[in-house]
Amino acid sequence: MRIAEGGLEITVADARDGAQDGSGDSVFFNPTQELNRDITVAVLRAYRDREPRAETYLDAMAASGIRGVRAANEGYSVTCADIDVDAIDLAKENLAGNGFDGEAIHRDVNAVLHDGYYDIVDIDPFGTPMPFADAAFANTRDLVCVTATDTAPLCGAHQKSGIRKYSSLPQNTDYHPEMGLRILLGALIRTAARYDTAATPILSHVSRHYVRTYLELDNRATRADRAIEQLGFIHHCEDCLERDHEYGLFPQSVPEHCPHCDSNRTLTAGPLWLGPTAEAAFAGVVRSHLSEEMGTYKRAHRLLETIEGEINTPTHYDQHKLCELWGVPANSMDEFISALHDAGYDASNAHYSGTAFKCPETIKTIEAAAAPEKD
Ligand SMILES: C[S@@+](CC[C@H](N)C(=O)[O-])C[C@H]1O[C@@H](n2cnc3c(N)ncnc32)[C@H](O)[C@@H]1O
Ligand SMILES: [Zn+2]
């Protein structure tokens, strides 16, 4: 089946042949990842200004090669890799069919990375990216782009799997998309540190089906030490929903009772990343590099605008859940956030959902400042 994406024509397998979930024999293709790919193209454009040296791009898990073809269209020198020979045939056809001379290699990505360095490496697996993280951080010069689709293990819904994959304890909370992102970032940043490399997230976004993050690398051990200092733990109360965080590789104290309401239904998650999950200014530059002919232009624009304005401290609240807790009807997000601003607090929308917001205050303070009136 021929599709058009980003102004290019690509041959992909049909969803009816199991292409969207990796079942069946056909080469994977998921049209709903177009937003992810459009943002990747805008990141590649923005990254050219940030690091003009970056030239080579490894589409490490290429499937149809659609990411590689789109990167080649931006002037990058592209290598596609996949362990599926049909995928590599298709990636070759798609590169050549669009007039690009990038190479396509039928090989395990860990072996490809063992043999050579790339400036930008894009890891886009089924499920967890962790089996590829060591090779990626050891052999990438500038930027590692990562998708993880195993959101249930990451956010603590499948906790044992999350512990196994990420060497961390995820907890299922009302801010599960951010829990997933911070668990993933914690594991990736610890992996990079093994190679004396600091990995800094310059852009991240989460949807129900996947987490996507872009990590810029710095090969100074002192910078890796500084990254490690931004790991820590989140203590969460399942009754009053208050949450606190602390930095460090071990929790100093795991509270048996919530310090806010004395409940014994407390959870501790970590180690996870407590630092910024994106650079606001970079999100703005990426947004300026979206083009109107992109299929997801409007959605991507809105998403990046929200990320640009998002307060970057852990963790987001869900306005509907708070209103439920307070026993009041929810008002509009604009009204709610304005009330917080009027009371003198920092507050922003958060990209995790339409009712997600950030405010570095406790729920009690937020309630006093912005809880809507009872009916
Ligand atoms: C989710 S798909 C990639 C989708 C593609 N990047 C896109 O945007 O449409 C994952 C691909 O990784 C390939 N793969 C799985 N394990 C691999 C490995 N160890 N090395 C290289 N490719 C691998 C699979 O064959 C599959 O084609
Ligand atoms: Zn509590």
Contact 216, 143 (CB under 8 A): yes
SS3 of 237, please? strand
Q: Are residues 56 and 83 in the same domain?
A: yes
Q: Are residues 215 and 337 in the same domain?
A: no
Q: Which ligand is nearest to the CA of 22?
A: 1
Which residue reads 């992909």 in tokens? 12
Q: Is the CB of 89 under 6 A from ligand 1?
A: no
- Domain membership of residue 141 (yes or no) is yes
- Domain membership of residue 92 (yes or no) is yes
pLDDT digits (tens, 9 = 90+) for 174-218: 999 999 999 999 999 999 999 999 999 999 999 889 999 999 999
Q: Which ligand is nearest to the CA of 235?
A: 2
pLDDT band at 351 (very low <50, low <70, confident <90, very high): very high
- Domain membership of residue 322 (yes or no) is yes
The C-alpha angle 126, 132, 134, rounded to 5 degrees, equals 155
Q: Are residues 207 and 354 in the same domain?
A: no
Task: Please state the domain count of the chain.
Answer: 2
Q: Are residues 112 and 178 in the same domain?
A: yes
Q: How far apart are CA 14 and CA 33, in angstroms?
A: 15
Residues 6+ apart with CB under 8 A from 287: 42, 300, 301, 304, 305, 308
The ipTM estimated for the assembled molecules is 0.99
Checking DSSP bridges between strand 56-59 and strand 317-318, what pairing results, if any?
Answer: unpaired
- Domain membership of residue 293 (yes or no) is yes
Give, for ligand 1, the residue of 83, 121, 212 to mutate: max count of ligand atoms closer than 8 Å to Cβ: 83
Q: Are residues 92 and 154 in the same domain?
A: yes
- Domain membership of residue 235 (yes or no) is no
- Domain membership of residue 145 (yes or no) is yes
Q: Are residues 332 and 209 in the same domain?
A: no
Q: Are residues 196 and 334 in the same domain?
A: no
- Domain membership of residue 209 (yes or no) is yes
The domain containing residue 342 runs over which residues? 317-370
Q: pLDDT > 70: what percent of the chain?
A: 97
Query: Could you tell me the distance, in angstroms and rounded to a whole number, from the CA of residue 107 to the centre of ligand 1?
Result: 11
pLDDT digits (tens, 9 = 90+) for 73-121: 999 999 999 999 999 999 999 999 999 999 999 999 999 999 999 999 9
pTM of the predicted structure, to 2 decimals:
0.97
Phi, psi of 6 (to 5 degrees): 60, 30
Going by CA atoms, what residue is nearest to atom 11 of ligand 1?
Answer: 61
Residues 6+ apart with CB under 8 A from 50: 282, 285
